[in-house]
Structure 1
Amino acid sequence: MNNELLPNIVSFLQTISPFDLLPQTALNDIAQTVDILLLGPEETISHEDNATHLYIIRTGVVQQNNLDGTLRAKLGSEDIFGFNLQQNDSEFGYSIFAIENTLLYRFDYTSLMASVEAYPQVASSLALSLKTRLRAQDSKQDNQQHAHQNYLRPNSDIADSTIAIASPTDTIQAVAHQMRNVVGVSCAFIVDENKHLIGMITDKDMTKRVVAQAKNVHDPISSIMTQEIHTVYEDDLVMSAVQLMMKHNIQNIPVLNHQKQVTGFITPQHLIQNDSVQSIFLLDKIRHADSISTLIDLSKQRSAVFQGMMESNSSPSIIGQVLSMIYDAFTYRLIELAIEQFGQPPCKFTWIVAGSHARNEVHLASDQDNAIILADDATESDRIYFNHFSMYVCKALSELDYTLCKGRFMAATPKWCQKAEIWQEYYRKWSNNPEYELLLNLNVFLEIRPIYGDEALFDSVDSCRHELVSNNMQLTVALVRNALRTRPPLGIFKHLVLEKDGNNNKVLNIKKAAISCMVDFIRIYSLLQESTALNTTERMEFLHQVGVLNDSTYQDLNETYHYANRLRFQHQLKAIQNDTPIDSQLQPDLFGSFERQHLKDAFRIVSNFQELMKMKFGV
């Protein structure tokens, strides 16, 4: 190596991630090992079978082709490649040639990794394993401790184990005495002879059901106890307790062991004391909001909750679930306000959500995908009530920055406010005749989840949906064809065919290019396996457990999905900070070389899986 070139090489490396994390001395050592290659147009890179090199493009353009001759990627200045020139279990082999005069820096991979061994973040970013590289890019702050990880703790960690236990024959007075004077808690749990939970009573129940109704305090507690109880297990995540509280508007959640015995309980106060997170406070405020204007004020806190989670490096999965819980809470409270406005519903109904909301994958740019299932005995007069009712809720949601759906997939659209029997007919038609227009409707309502109303009504439709769309090969082939309409872009970013935003900036829609692609094909494989899971991450875990995805494929897909969502959330965080519109449109020109390389890695994983899916289903 000509020592006169060293300063130039070092200064170049200092501008490229992850080398910019290295100290000057390490960069000097690495620069002395570099080989400089000059390639002319059409000239290929040859490599030895027993050697692995890492290349950085200083100037010029190279093209990577798969072994069948198809384009793998185009790379430009500052791009890094060469991790997997040899074919291995998780990567297809490829060839490389220069498109124009190109200057390359080549490093012996083994020597390079020895030089950065003392810098774990850099070593992970340069790992041969693609999933390790993506994980390294996404977890630069993984060593930070943050309150939101408490959502991932087991319920037993925060549950209050000081509990009042009673038998169904105990008197109301005896149970009240135990709650108030012996144990000092706000609720009591009623168990049978096997210690299994059969009922519960709270201090508020005592006021409403005993004092207000002048109930005889010597009656058995079974005469006033609540029998329909929502519970969680000790080893369930705290997130599950929060979701139950929001979904059913309840304050006390019994915690059970796997023998169905009560070991404790969780209240919002326990969550606040143990988490100190803004989202718990916000959910509680939403529940007690008395007007739309109050909810509008509270909706502004959603961004603060999001920023807090991002700054503490919460996982995209947790962020999506928390934002979904907040969306659920706003919707639930608006439905209650609508009932106050229009009176009690004239028939049974269920308000459902669909799409990313149903999957608990909400982000800050999520719009509305909702609908209403009406009882089969609903009259025309009932429909008029629900027309006004749904318009009230949907309009209010839009004022809370949950934008109206451009495709009008909302309860305020008469087509999506129908009797259960009509919904069942919809699914029969969509699944048996998956033409494109019908498939568009089905794609939205392939995942549905109840927010408010009669759950039996929802179950009648959901069981029909599940039966019709699961392991349906005709529908599967149609879904595959539809999923393959969108392919992730591969190439030099400046040469990509990108969309333009309102400011004429060239942008990449990360939702369309990666996230939706993955949601689609994970959904397809899940439906074939008759999985009842809705969340994409949970579906991947299921497919891994049943052997559809091997360890390597599962890890690649999981890391890629996680990484793509992290990019979207980072973009939306910057939009909040810069007071610009919140969307999923990334500006690739603002990315560093290593970020671009990681994104291309992610696209390549998606593209490879799409190719496998195409071959499997012969489309």
Structure 2
Amino acid sequence: MDVELTEVLDFLASHEPFSDLPSEVLRTLPSQLTARYYRRGSVLCALGEHSENLFILRSGAVDLHDNQGTLIERCEEGKSMGITALLDREPSVYSFTAREDSLVLLMPAQLFRRLCADEPVFQQYYLRRKNRVREGVEALHAGRGGAILKTHVREILPSPMVATEPDTSVMEAVQIMADHTVSGLLIVEDNQLVGVFTDHDLRVHVVAAGHSLSLPVRIFMTENPIFVTEEALAFEALLEMVSRNIDHLPVTRNGVPVGMVTSRDLMRLEHTNPIYLAGDIAKQRDVEGLVTVSHRRNKVVEQLVAQDASADDIGRVATAIGDQITRRLLQLAEAELGEPPVPYCWIALGSQGRLEQGPASDQDNGLILDDAARPEDAHYFSQLADFVVQGLAAAGYPLCPGDVMATNPRWRRPLAMWRQQFRHWIVAPESEALLSAQTFFDLRPVHGALRLGQTLIEQIAREARHHPRFLTHLAAHAVDRQPPLGFFRKFVVEKEGQHAATFDIKAFGIGPIVEIARVLSLSRGLPQVNTKERLLAARGAGALNEENAQDLLDAWEFISYARLQHQATQMARGQAPDNYIPPAELGSFDRRLLRDAFQVVRKQQQALAYLHRTHLT
């Protein structure tokens, strides 16, 4: 095989689905392909043209446009084009244009169809492209399990090792245990583990038996104890303890003792369990204690990501913690300020309102007062709002840059004024005003007189569906920021500043789906605010068919999970979590599925734009 064919073979071997073909099949392909060079602006295949080739992009970039001239995809190296036309034997429904000088490999239709017939992996790749996001989501969450099933003993091993020699007196041993606040000692001789001495041994074998504390610890220690290596799973260590009814288990590395884990250490794995965390939050008696406990919430997210919990589940858990912190702050505020003069409802907005809070979420909240509120009551609720908002900030929830918080008098007012504000947004919408107001349509009561918040939710659901101009404005915003199909060629990244050369996955990936779901929900008068629930309800109401609903749900889950993985990685490194992902951080699996997910979003944005005629706004 000459040099050029060898280079083609190497190229194919590094891209799916060719890389999955049997080697004997793969080696025959280079000589059956034709290389063609297209200058920038050249058309590879025109709209409506019958193509007799599969186009495989070897270098450069190619744009796909539909019959409306809308950019459908910006193809990167290794991308195959013209698949649908070849499979269906129909004219191309897209035009393929070289965005830059490009080198393309042409595979004859006959060869393409033969490979589809003879090689299942080849056929599945092309026939099941639309299901790849679904399969990717299933693969992500296939191995769910508790932290104790995924954690190695070395990860929970206390440091430093606490040990003594066999001839140490019991009194000295007890003093060592007290100094290090441990309940057991490793007994080590010549760098070898010879025994364990615990507080149980002290109580039962020394004190209760009336022995002198001056005797050597070797008399009372447990000799040749059971141990585990530091590479053992925490689950295995727990099984050893339970099966042998012991609370202390020595740990070794290459046969040398390095520490000891206890049943309490293993229980600390559940210390970040949100149930325990919520209980600890409720016990706090001041803001300082609440702030200290609340910082464990990021560990909860890290643990849930490690367990491959779904993005939806993680968002709900993180929000539940945020809700609990908010409620406790409100209770502490009332304890300090006294009983509120009139009933009120604290409302969560934005991601917290949607049950989709994450590690990088800031505050979005408001305060609805009973209509019986008097002007003189304003001071009380101003103090209440300041207490809670500042407490949330101290607990790790940054202040809202747009000042959408209860400390802003605009968002701390009686129900009647809230009702009037929502009616104005819906009946007389203004594009720029709605852009900032969308956060308020993701409203959820959190604490207090919940009926006040529920009244607003019912008003929104009742009125929004009857105002097409309002829905058109919302739809225009939903299609304005489109996922970057050219992302992987770095066409769409931040150009400068601290986030240079990164991609804002919240603004361009998650945000569009949130906005699509919001429009679909409001257009049918549905009360749901959670994105997943909105999409499911929209499907039930006929606003989405089964296929499109499932595609959006899968895209939402995968893109959201990609963000959480990024944030969990940052937190593990001691960095503040954000929404800016460097393209180089993504593996080939994530890159491919993110691209597929982005295509799903673009398709639904186009459908929404057509339905609500957004070009008229």
1:100 alignment counterpart: 101
* Alpha-carbon distance in structure 1 between the residues aligned to 2:114 and 2:488: 31
Deviations 1:191-240 (A, max 9, x none): xxxxxxxxxxxxxxxxxxxxxxxxxxxxxxxxxxxxxxxxxxxxxxxxxx
- Residue identity in the other structure for 2:364: D
- Judge conservation of contact 2:57–2:103 (CA < 8 Å) in 1: yes
1:38 is matched with which residue?
Answer: 36
Residue 61 of structure 1 is matched in structure 2 by 61
Higher deviation after alignment, 557-566 or 67-76? 67-76
Give, in whole Å, the separation in 1 of the partners of 2:51 and 2:43. Answer: 22
Q: Is the 8 A contact 1:17 1:593 kept in 2?
A: no
Residues 1:485 and 2:483 are matched in the alignment:
no
Render the CA deviation track for 1:162-213: whole Å, top value 9, x for unaligned. xxxxxxxxxxxxxxxxxxxxxxxxxxxxxxxxxxxxxxxxxxxxxxxxxxxx
- The alignment of Structure 1 onto Structure 2 pairs a total of residues equal to 486
Match of 2:448 in 1: 453
What aligned pairs does 1:323-338 form with structure 2 within 5 A after superposition?
323-338=318-333
Q: Deviations over 1:394-440 (max 9, x none)?
A: 11111122111111110111111111111111112222211134324
Tell me, in whole angstroms, the C-alpha distance in 2 between the residues paired with 1:92 and 1:393: 59
Q: Could you tell me how far apart the structure 2 residues matched to 1:410 and 1:528 are? A: 27
Structure 1 pair 57–469 and aligned structure 2 pair: CA distance change class (3 A):
same
Query: Superposed, which structure 2 residues align to 1:84-99 within 5 Å?
Result: 84-85=84-85, 93-98=93-98, 99=100
TM-score, normalised via structure 1 length: 0.70
Selected match of 1:583 from 578, 585, 592: 578
Deviates more, 1:418-427 or 1:4-13: 4-13
CA distance in 2, matches of 1:471, 1:405: 31
Structure 2, gaps ≥5 residues long? 148-266
**1:66 and 1:93 in contact (8 A); partners too:** yes
AA of the residue aligned to 1:307 = E
Q: Quick one: which amino acid aligns to residue 103 of structure 2?
A: T
Q: Tell me how far apart the structure 1 counterparts of residues 285 and 392 of structure 2 sit (CA, whole Å).
A: 15
2:360 & 2:591 partners in 1: Cα distance? 23
Task: Say whether 1:134 aligns with 2:130.
Answer: no
Change (3 A) 1:501 1:15: farther
Q: Following superposition of structure 1 onto structure 2, how do residues 500-579 of structure 1 map, counting pairs within 5 Å?
A: 500=495, 502-503=497-498, 505-579=500-574
Aligned equivalents of 2:433 and 2:366: distance in 1?
A: 17
454-463 or 423-432: bigger deviation? 454-463
Indicate the residue corresponding to 1:283 in structure 2.
278
Please state whether the residue corresponding to 1:409 is helix, strand or coil.
coil
State the 1:19 CA deviation. 7.0
| Structure with larger RCO (C-alpha < 8 A, sep 6+) | 1
Matching residue's letter, 1:63: D
| Cα distance, 1:45 vs structure 2 | 5.0
Cα shift readout 1:453-503 (whole Å, capped 9, x = no counterpart) = 012333333333332323322311222233333233333644524324643
Separation in 2 of the partners of 1:458 and 1:439? Answer: 20
- In structure 1, give the amino acid aligned to 2:139: K
Q: Which of structures 1 and 2 has the bigger CA Rg? A: 2
* Alignment-derived partner of residue 371 in structure 2: 376
Q: Distance in 2 between matches of 1:324 and 1:141?
A: 22
Matches within 5 A, 1:183-262: none
Give the Cα–Cα distance (whole angstroms) in 1 for the partners of residues 562 and 466 of structure 2: 33
Structure 1 counterpart of 2:77, which letter? S
Work out whether residues 58 and 105 of structure 1, in 8 Å CA contact, stay in contact via their aligned partners in 2: no
User: In structure 1, what is the equivalent of residue 234 of structure 2?
Assistant: none
Quick check: 1:86–1:93 contact (8 Å CA) kept in 2?
no
Shift of 1:393: 0.7
CA offsets per residue over residues 20-51 of structure 1, 9 Å max, x none?
7x5xx835543434535333322525999798
Say if 2:357 is the partner of 1:356: no
Give the drift of 1:594: 5.9
Contact 2:485 2:598 in 1 (8 A): yes
Q: Which residue is 1:208 aligned to?
A: none
Q: Which amino acid aligns with 1:138?
A: V
Counterpart-to-counterpart distance in 1, 2:409 and 2:355: 25
Counterpart amino acid of residue 77 in structure 1 = E
Q: CA deviation at 1:390?
A: 0.9
Paired residue for 1:192? Answer: none
Instruction: Return the alpha-carbon distance in structure 1 between the equivalents of residues 499 and 271 of structure 2.
Output: 42
Q: Do the aligned partners of residues 436 and 49 (structure 1) sit closer, same or farther apart at CA in structure 2, a change above 3 Å counting? A: closer
Instruction: Measure, in 2, the Cα distance between the counterparts of 1:291 and 1:92.
Output: 67
Distance 1:526 1:92 in 2: 35
- Counterparts of 1:520 and 1:397 in 2: how far apart (Å)? 26
- TM score, norm. by length of structure 2: 0.70
Amino acid at match of 1:37: A
Distance in 2, matches of 1:78 and 1:470, equals: 45
Distance (Å, rounded) in 2 between the aligned partners of 1:12 and 1:30 = 11
Looking at structure 1, the residues matched to 18 and 107 of structure 2 have their Cα atoms a distance apart, in angstroms, of 14
- The code of the aligned residue for 2:408 comes to T
Partner of 2:414: 419
Cα distance in 1 for partners of 2:298, 2:137 equals 21
**What value does the CA root-mean-square deviation take over the aligned residues?**
3.5
Structure 1: gaps spanning 5 or more residues = 149-271
Q: Distance in 2 between matches of 1:573 and 1:607?
A: 27
In the alignment, what sits opposite 1:390?
Answer: 385
CA distance in 2, matches of 1:336, 1:116: 65
Quote how far apart the aligned CAs of 1:318 are: 1.0
Cα deviation for residue 569 of structure 1 reads: 1.4
Secondary structure of the residue that 2:101 maps to in structure 1? coil
1:30–1:112: 8 Å Cα contact kept in structure 2? no
Alpha-carbon separation, structure 2, partners of 1:18 and 1:595: 16
Give the C-alpha shift of residue 352 in structure 1. 0.7
Structure 1 residue 540, shift from structure 2 partner = 1.2
